[in-house]
Structures are given as structure tokens and as C-alpha cells.
Amino acid sequence: MTAALTPSFIETDPNLIHGFEGNLVMILSPEGRMNTLGRRVNKLSGGALARLAESSVFEEMEEGSTKALDFLPGIAATAVIVVKLGKRADHAAVRRAGAAARRSAGRADAMVLAGTLKTADAFVQGFVLAAYEFTAHKTGDRKEAGSLTVMVGDKPAAEAAWVAAGAATEGVIFTRDLVNEPANVLTTVAFADRLLALEEHGLHVSVLEEKDMEQLGMGALLGVGQGSPSPSKIVVMEWNGGRDEAPFCFAGKGVVFDTGGISLKPAGGMKDMTMDMGGAGVVAGVMKTLALRKARANVVGLVGLVENMPDGHAQRPGDVVTSMKGTTIEVANTDAEGRLVLADVLHYAQETYKPAGVINIATLTGAMVIALGHENAGFFSNSDDLSKKLAKAAADTGEGAWRLPVGPGYHKQIESRVADIMNVGGRPAGSITAAAFLECFIHDGMPWCHIDIAGVASLKSATPLGPAGATGWGVRALDRLIADNYEAV
């Protein structure tokens, strides 16, 4: 697994600046004002920072952007990376600025002159997330990533703040690694093994095998994987950091590769279906985050791991399967498989843990990409209260999420002639009818949200916080949701 760049925090000492041989990262306000460290850099470099601050180049820089001043006199640093950033910038803006600084600094050693920046944890988080590279299958010698030193006015406070921010960062990187892995490497067995390894962080992890699911009557989930030699599994991760309160549950779709089954997908773009376990990846990343920061909450993460393949044993369009709940489902399209997986996982979670609330996460529908593109995940809910909490957590962490409707009219679209319901409702409102299907497996009175991350889980181009590929969207938002609403005081 990819090792996160580990920051080292040191107390402010202007005497260490002149001899540092990597890249210095210096923050200037939009007005060009300098703190104590900025004034030291400016003095050592013969007024270089002041000249930049007074120039039209600085005036035209967008807030959060950077300018590299190379090989300045009076200091050993290769470059001073100047970041234009105001004191009132929110955490999301500061995080993006940190990421921009990393892109400018490259792989060289870096020293961030954070000084009294109150949001240094967000700046460093952005820097570390932007340093991520998925190189597990690259060969040949590769230059090691440089070190990261952060000079702060209050080292104990900065280190304490980094505990939570660093845990979330590692959770995001864990998720990115899982989603980036090819399907021949991250099989259902390998995925389960990686989650079992999380026990070293204090999670209790257990696995339901096919025989267990057969006894429980999980015909919906088992039907999806019956065409693959890879065994279907449900992995349950429990974090018991609270008191005796009911846990909160996260459920993730973990289709390690999705051919569409007998309803075969077109060849173009099918290789991207290695990311169809993105929801399970997010749940795993959140659970790792909670364990690393010792969250004072009870949380259960469940992931259904299957592979959807079209061999002679695969389920057919028109088959009828019986879910654990007892609801019969007409499988009108075998490429609408994720909702079948989640149907049994959601029912099992509620029956077993009687949670305070449940959120499921899935790369569920291409229709969500059409609706919201790659800027926002879409979510659906039966609870205004839980929706508000989720939307706030997403906004506070800079992860876009937009609520869409679900209701009786959409449920009518999934009525079946031969079974209780069917797994698709036609082209109109495809993402909403998928949510309506999942809502059929939510117990009365259970606060629930379904998050469709099809458009944000993995991208073709780089984002402000990372390279092309897996984003780790949702780990930080869901961790914040727990921190703000479900932790013991």
C-alpha cells in the first residue's frame, strides 16, 4: 500500500531558514503582508518577496495559487514557493493551496513556513494528498518523494490537530489504493484480506462467506456473483469507540469488476470497471480513519464483495431472486447489480446492529454522471435531519454532494409483473429509481441516505487534491459526519 508522506512539525526558528536546501513554502496574504518568517526570507533574499508582493504578477495571482522564486541569493533553498492565501480562507481553500504548493515544490524536500497559520493541518493535508502516486505496478528505479517539514508557532497544537487530519489523509490514500488496483490483483479474496489487516489498528473484522450468506437467504447478493469463480463475501468492520449507544452503519458496494454480466457492457470503457468497488473502498477508508484517530463513536462498516461475470452459471435477465428480507426481485438487467448487492447488505446491517442510522455508498448509476457530472456526488434520503448533517459535512470538507428526490412515483417505476419489484425502472430518472429500489430494504423509521459516487470516485484527469484516477471522495466527509454528530462527549 502507498505510504503517506509524513510531516515533521518543528517550532518556529528563523535561524533554520537560510541553510535549508530543499524548497521553502512561504505564505503571503493577498495584500502582500508578511509574517515574521516572511520578513526573514525577504531580508535574506535581498527583498525578493517584497518585489514580488508589489508586482503586477502577484496582483494577478488567484488566491490559493503559487509562484516559484528560484535560486534566490542569501538562502540555500532551490526555490521559495510563494502561496497567496488570506487569513480568512476556509479549510477547503487552505487544503487546495497546500496541494498547489506540493505541485510547485515537486518531489524535493520541502519546508512549509506555516508560522501562526491556524489551519496548518488543512494546508499540510492538501500537500500530502497532492503527493499521492499509485506506483504499485511500476517497475524501474523511481526517485523517492522528498521530506516535509512544517515550521509552526505552536508545535504541540499543530501535532494534535494533525492526528485527526492525518488519520483522514491515510484513510483517503487507503481508499485510493483500493480503487486504483486492477481487478486481477484486487479480487474478492484479496480485498477481504486487506480489510482483515485493519485489525492491527483496533478494528474488529469478520467475513461472511457464501455458505453463511446462503443460510441467511441472501439470494440477491449471491445471484450477482454466481457467474464468477471469485467467491462472494461480506466483510464487516466494527469500531467500538463509544459507550453503549447504537452504532452508525456504513454499507458499500464492492463489485471488484463489473462486465455487466449477461447484459454485457460495451467494450469501450469496460476497463474502468475496476473502480466499481468504489463504495466499498470509501467505507474501508472511513473505518481506517476512525480507528487511527480513536473516534469516540460506535461505527460498523459493511461491504459486499462480488465479481459480475457472464459465464454459463451467471444469472440471466428475467431471473427472479429472493433477498434476505424475503422480497422477490425480477432481475430485468444484470448490469444493475450493485443495488442487488446492497439490498442484502443493508437488510443484514439493520437486522444485526439495529443502528442509529445507515448510509450506503456506491458507484451505482451512469445516470448520476449525466445528472451531476464529476463535481458532485448525488444523494437520496428518507430523513431531512440526516440529509442536513451529510450535506454540511460534505460542504465543510469541500466534497461536493447534492440531494435528489425519491418518492412514491419513482417506486411505481420498479413494480414487476412477476415479482415484488424489479431491479431497473427504465431510462427516466435512472439514478432515482435505483435509490427507490434500495429504499425498499430500509426498515420503517430508519434514517438512511444513499450516496451515488459514480461521477466522483475515479476521474480521467487530475483534481485539485490529487492525480488522475481514484479520488477517495467521501472519506473525509463521512469521517466529519461521525465527528460532528455521533461521537460521545
Q: Please tell me which residue in 233, 293, 325, 339 is annotated as part of the active site.
A: 339
- Whole-angstrom Cα distance, residue 437 to residue 380? 12
Shortest CA distance to 414 belongs to which of 312, 298, 332? 332
- Whole-angstrom Cα distance, residue 111 to residue 147? 8
SS3 at position 324: coil
- Enumerate residues 6+ apart whose C-beta is below 8 A from 73: 45, 46
- Enumerate residues 6+ apart whose C-beta is below 8 A from 187: 230, 256, 307
Task: Give the DSSP letter string of 74-114.
Answer: T---SEEEEEE--TT--HHHHHHHHHHHHHHHTTS-EEEEE
Q: Please tell me which residue in 43, 155, 265, 403 is annotated as part of the active site.
A: 265
Question: Cell numbers 457530472 label which residue?
Answer: 373
Name residue 320's amino acid.
V
| Residue 265 is a catalytic residue | yes
- Whole-angstrom Cα distance, residue 370 to residue 367? 5
Residues 286 and 301 sit within 8 Å (Cβ to Cβ): yes
Provide Rg for the chain, Cα atoms. 24
Shortest CA distance to 220 belongs to which of 311, 304, 313? 304
| Residue 339 is a catalytic residue | yes
Shortest CA distance to 101 belongs to which of 71, 63, 130, 58? 130
Residues designated as active site: 265, 339
